[in-house]
Amino acid sequence: MIMEGSMKTTGLRLFGKNDLRLESFELPEIKEDEILAEMETNSICMSSYKAVIQGAAHKRVPDNISETPILIGHEFCGTILKVGKKYRDKFKEGMKYTIQPAINYPEKEQEAIGYSFQYIGGNATKVIIPKEALEMDCLIPCYGDSFFKVSLAEPVACIIAAFKEQFHYKNNNKYVHEMGIEDGGNLAILGGGGPMGLAAVDILLNSERKPKLIVVTDVDQNRLDRARKIFPIKKSKEKEVKLLFINTSNVSNEEILKETDNKGFDDLFIFAPIKPLVKQASELMAIGGCMNFFAGPSEKNFSAEINFYDVHYNMHHIIGSAASNSDDLKEAVDLIDNDILDPAIMVTHVGGLNCTPETVQNLPKIPGGKKLIYTQISLLLTALDDFEGVGKTNPLFAELAIIIKKNNGVWSKEAEDYLLTNADKIIV
């Protein structure tokens, strides 16, 4: 039962460049075109780190955050607590939800959840879903068995969008683009050993339209070893796809091109904003290939070397892909709710709301994949690989280590249920 009047929340707020504060404050009573909701999980995105180091200079962050701070976080899942009068026929109390953060509201197209709003962001206990999100159909109901999987639907949606944004000429005399990746083609994910690269592989293997060859590159052998464990050769062969994980610190472009019979790659995705990867992608592209600069840089003056002879004579296409739309997010949620995709493979750390300031500010320095935050509990950020060691002195982690081990080292609904039942609650 939600009482009339104000409601206290605890959340991670941005006041300026590198000025993050986890604090409790009052939420106002919701209006008839708003919804009061509880957050349960939020996965930390590198985009949140970029917003923190840029502050008001970030294109989605308001200029007045020193006086009106915004809540950080946009990869989340929670439960609806109270629905304003205008939307009571559409949304119900107790409904599980996520939100498309890129709202594209008329005259406010740069506003986004987790960057622009005072009362909603993923790293909080309770939030107010604003009219902008509701009017633009950005509130997405979810029906799966866990919260954490839905938190990861937003990054999955961004990858789905990137695959849709690829284009190729099927007939050069017609000047017509065919959208999407090349069906049965060669595809490379450069810098793809992290969580987004793993999610991309999972999506590709479970899509009707898929390449015949997927090459994932990285220079971190530990990340590649984990990827091979998650996607064994047998699994990719069952999907009739050749899947290779290559450490480019000791493999040349010439050797990589041999895997394509020296034809090159029809689709290349750059999953780390590193200049040498752009140059490498340019050198690996097939005639008519499409390069997607997926990983957004924090430097506004970022530039890299590209072979424009090939752009002219070999019809190389270069695009960038950022964010997704509500249809992409609905597609991602549906794939996850129906257990077609398993976003749990992206998670390498879990923590509580108390650890979010340090986690966000130090995100590039923390190895591994997605850092999953449970916003209703207090817990130090801990790597799944460290559960057994921490469990020697902490019974909570001892049990979690057992659960993780029997699930091939991957986070799960069972682990989430146990954590939410037994961890210390965050004090509001």
CA atoms of 20 and 16, how far apart (whole Å): 8
Q: How many CA atoms lie within 13 A of 327 on its CB side?
A: 2
pLDDT of residue 2: 42
Where does the pLDDT of residue 95 fall: very low under 50, low under 70, confident under 90, or very high at 90 and above?
Answer: very high
> Any idea where the domains of the chain sit in the sequence?
1-158+324-428, 173-314
pLDDT digits (tens, 9 = 90+) for 107-155: 777 899 999 999 999 999 999 999 999 999 999 999 999 999 999 999 9
In this prediction, residues 155-177 reach a mean pLDDT of 89
pLDDT digits (tens, 9 = 90+) for 14-49: 999 999 999 999 999 999 999 999 999 999 999 999
The alpha carbon dihedral of 277, 283, 286, 291 has a sign of: positive
CA atoms of 361 and 363, how far apart (whole Å): 6
pLDDT of residue 428: 65
pLDDT digits (tens, 9 = 90+) for 346-355: 999 999 999 9
- DSSP percent split of the chain into helix, strand, coil, nearest 5: 35, 25, 40
Q: Which residue has the tokens 């290559």?
A: 246
Mean pLDDT score across all residues of the chain: 94
pLDDT digits (tens, 9 = 90+) for 194-219: 999 999 999 999 999 999 999 999 99
Q: At the top level of CATH, which class does the domain 173-314 belong to?
A: alpha beta
pLDDT of residue 300: 84
Output the pTM of the full model: 0.92
pLDDT of residue 413: 96
pLDDT at 4 over 60: no
CA atoms of 38 and 2, how far apart (whole Å): 12
User: How many other β-carbons are positioned within 10 Å of the β-carbon of residue 5?
Assistant: 8
How far out from the chain centre does Cα 405 lie? Answer: 25
- Cα separations in angstroms, 112 against 10, 102, 375: 20, 5, 20
CATH of region 1-158+324-428? 3.90.180.10
How far out from the chain centre does Cα 164 lie? Answer: 17
Degrees (nearest 5) of the Cα angle 36, 31, 10?
35
